[in-house]
Structure 1
Amino acid sequence: MEEVQPQWSRETPWRQGHVLCAKARAALELHHTDADATCVVVISHDCDLASDDLHAEPDVEVIIGRVVSAANGNYSWGKAPRTLHLPMQRNGATVTVELVTTSKRLVPKSTLASFEPDGAFALDANGLDVLRSWLSSRYKRAAFPDAFVRRMDKTGVSKRLAKKLEPRGALISFVYFNLDGGQVLERPDGEPYELSIVLVHPPGDDPEASAEAADDLAEDVKEDCEAKLADKKQIIVKSCIAISEDDLPVSRARTLTHWRLEHMTLRADGNHPGPIST
C-alpha cells in the first residue's frame, strides 16, 4: 500500500523559532559550511505558518545558522542588524546560535510537513522577542546624518565603541544616541555634533549588580570616546549613562535613536561570519 504523505494543515506543530531536525535538513539540503554545527531556525511568523493555503503561502522561511562556541557581545540582543547571536537551550544546556540575514532560505511546506521540530532545542519568550526584533530591525533602522556617520568612522569612535562593548556586550541590550537633541542636521566641517550615549541594560537576576556593571561600562565608554575625540570640532560627547530597561519610560525612549554596531558585520577579516552552502 502506497504511503500517504503528510499534508500541511493549520494544526502544524511548526512555530517561529523552531529548529529543523537532521533528517529535515538532509531532505531539504540545508547545510552550513560549518556542517557539524548547522542549526536551521524557522523565522516565518506563526500566522504564516498556520496558513494551509499553499497557493498563497507555499513556503516557510528559515535561516541556515550554526552553533558557535561563545557569544560575541556585539551580536547579542540584536545590536547588529546582519548577525545575531541567539541563546537557546539544547538538551537543557544553553548554547549560542549564530544567524546571518544573508543565509535566509525558503523551504516548501509540502516537504517540511513530513517532519517534526527538533525537540532538543528550545527558545524561551525573551529569546523569541529578541529574534523578532532583530528580524524587523533591518527594515526600521534609523538614519543618522551622513556627516555624523563619516565622523564616527573617521575618528574611529564607531570601532572603539564596538570594542568596548564586545567583551561585555551581553550586559547591554540597546545602545541609544541622543544626537543634537534629536535634530537631523548635515553639519559643515568645523561645526561639532553634540552626542549623548545611553546604554540600556536588562535588570537580570541581580539588578544592583547589573546596574553597577553597566555604570562602570558607561564611564569607561565615555572616557574612551573623549580620548578619541580630542578634536572638539568633530563630535562632543556630552554624556554616557547606563539605565535599566525597567527604568526607561516609553516617552524617553522616543526621544532617542537606536545605534546599531553595523560595521562589525561589514569588516573583511577572519571574524566575519562565514558563508553557508546548500
Structure 2
Amino acid sequence: MSEEPPKPWDRDTRWRQGHVLQAETAAAFKLRNAIDSAANLVVVVSHDCDLANDNLDAEPDVEVIVGRLVATPNGNFSWGKAPRTLHLSMTRDGGLVTVELIATSKRLIPKRELAQFEPDGAFDLDGQGLAVLRSWLGARYNRSAFPDRFVSRMAATKLDAKLAKILEPHGELISVVYFEVDDGRIVDREKDSPYELGIVLVYPAGDDPEASADAADEVVKAVERVCDQRLASKTDIVLKRCLAISEDDLPVSRARVLLQWRFEYMTLRASDHPGPVQT
C-alpha cells in the first residue's frame, strides 16, 4: 500500500495567527523553551495574510515564538507594555492561562512541513488577546523615543523602577502608560534645568466604568506619591500632572501627541529571566 502524499500548503490552511502548536508538533520541530522546557508553548505570530499566501517562493515560512506557560502574570508585561516580553491571556480547555512570549525567541517553520500538522484545539485566543498580540509584535519596531538625558535622569532617581513596582499589581487595570515630556518637545536639558513630565494612565472601562475609574484614580495617587518621594529635589524632573482616562474617552488626536512608556528598562541580558528591576 502506497503512502499518502504530503498535504500541500494552500489558502485554506487552518493555521492562523495566535494558534498554538501541539506538544508533539513542537517536539517534531525541536522547539523548546530555553527557560522552562516543561512549560513549553509555541505560538504562531505570522499575520493571517502571510499564512494564507500559498506562493511558497514569496512566503515560504511560518514565524512562531517559542514561549511558555507561567503560573502568575506580571502586570508590567500585560497589554503589550514591555516591547521584549508579553504575558498573554489565553484559554485552555475553557480555563484561563498565561503565556509568556519573548520577542527574541522567534523561529521559522517551513510551510511545507507545518502543513502536515494541525493546531492545538485546546487553546483559544479571543479577539482582544489577538489585538494585544498584534500591537506588541509591532511595538518592537515602532517605539517611542525620549530624550537621552530624560532617560538617564529617570534611571538616576530610580523613578522608572518605582513606577513599574507600583503599576505591576494593576497590570490588568492599566492598559497603557503615556508620558508627555516638555509638551512633546525633544530637548536635552542641561543640569538644573528640569524636564516637565505629564503621566496619563489609560484603563479599559469594563463592565463597571465607575468602579474602574475609582480604581484608576487610586493608582494615580500612588504614582503621585512616589514621584513626590523620588523627585524631591525638583531639579531633574518635575511632575506637572498625572491623570487617569478611560480608553473610551481618550481621543485619537490626544493619543497621537503622547508617547507610550513601555518599561524598556526591564530588558535584561538575554540569559536573564525577564522581570522588573529590583531596588
Output one character per residue of 1:183-228: Cα deviation in whole Å (capped at 9) or x when no partner: 1101111100000100000111211111111110011101111210
Structure-2 separation of matches of 1:55 and 1:256: 41
Is 2:231 aligned against 1:226?
Answer: no
Structure-2 separation of matches of 1:123 and 1:169: 19
Is 2:253 aligned against 1:251?
Answer: yes
Structure-2 separation of matches of 1:185 and 1:221: 24
Output one character per residue of 1:130-189: Cα deviation in whole Å (capped at 9) or x when no partner: 000000001110110001000000010000110001111221110001111111101111
Structure-2 separation of matches of 1:95 and 1:192: 44
Identity among equivalent pairs (%): 61
Q: Which runs of 5+ in 2 are unaligned?
A: none
Change (3 A) 1:49 1:173: same
Structure-1 separation of matches of 2:134 and 2:195: 33
Contact 2:147–2:187 (8 Å) recurs in 1: yes
Per the alignment, in what secondary structure is the counterpart of residue 235 of structure 2?
coil
Query: Paired residues, what number?
Result: 273
Change (3 A) 1:222 1:8: same
Contact 1:162–1:264 (8 Å) recurs in 2: no
Per-residue deviation at 1:31?
Answer: 1.1
Letter in 1 for 2:66: I
Choose the corresponding residue for 1:119, options 106, 118, 121.
121
TM-score by length of 1: 0.95
Choose the corresponding residue for 1:236, options 235, 238, 243.
238
Structure-1 separation of matches of 2:142 and 2:175: 17
**What does 1:48-197 correspond to in 2, within 5 Å?**
48-197=50-199
Per the alignment, in what secondary structure is the counterpart of residue 31 of structure 1?
coil
Deviates more, 1:33-42 or 1:261-270: 261-270
Task: Report which structure shows greater RCO (CA 8 Å, sep ≥6).
Answer: 1
Per the alignment, in what secondary structure is the counterpart of residue 59 of structure 2?
coil
Structure-2 separation of matches of 1:116 and 1:17: 13
Per the alignment, in what secondary structure is the counterpart of residue 32 of structure 1?
coil
Change (3 A) 1:223 1:90: same
Contact 1:196–1:240 (8 Å) recurs in 2: yes
Q: Partner residue of 1:3? A: 4
Per-residue deviation at 1:63?
Answer: 0.1
Q: Which runs of 5+ in 1 are unaligned?
A: 274-278
Per the alignment, in what secondary structure is the counterpart of residue 171 of structure 2?
helix
Structure-2 separation of matches of 1:185 and 1:272: 31
Change (3 A) 1:268 1:129: closer
Per-residue deviation at 1:266?
Answer: 2.1
Choose the corresponding residue for 1:201, options 200, 203, 206.
203
Change (3 A) 1:267 1:242: farther
Change (3 A) 1:2 1:54: same
Contact 1:58–1:108 (8 Å) recurs in 2: yes
Letter in 2 for 1:227: Q
Q: Partner residue of 2:30? A: 29
Structure-2 separation of matches of 1:32 and 1:271: 12
Change (3 A) 1:208 1:271: farther
Q: Partner residue of 1:276? A: none
Per-residue deviation at 1:55?
Answer: 1.1
Contact 1:218–1:242 (8 Å) recurs in 2: yes
Output one character per residue of 1:9-33: Cα deviation in whole Å (capped at 9) or x when no partner: 1100000000001221121111113
Contact 1:78–1:133 (8 Å) recurs in 2: yes
Contact 2:39–2:69 (8 Å) recurs in 1: yes
Contact 2:42–2:65 (8 Å) recurs in 1: yes
Per-residue deviation at 1:270?
Answer: 6.6
Per-residue deviation at 1:268?
Answer: 8.7
Per-residue deviation at 1:44?
Answer: 0.3
Which stretches of structure 1, 4 residues or more, deviate above 4 A after TM superposition?
A: 267-271
Output one character per residue of 1:90-148: Cα deviation in whole Å (capped at 9) or x when no partner: 00001000000111000110110011110000000000000000000011101100010
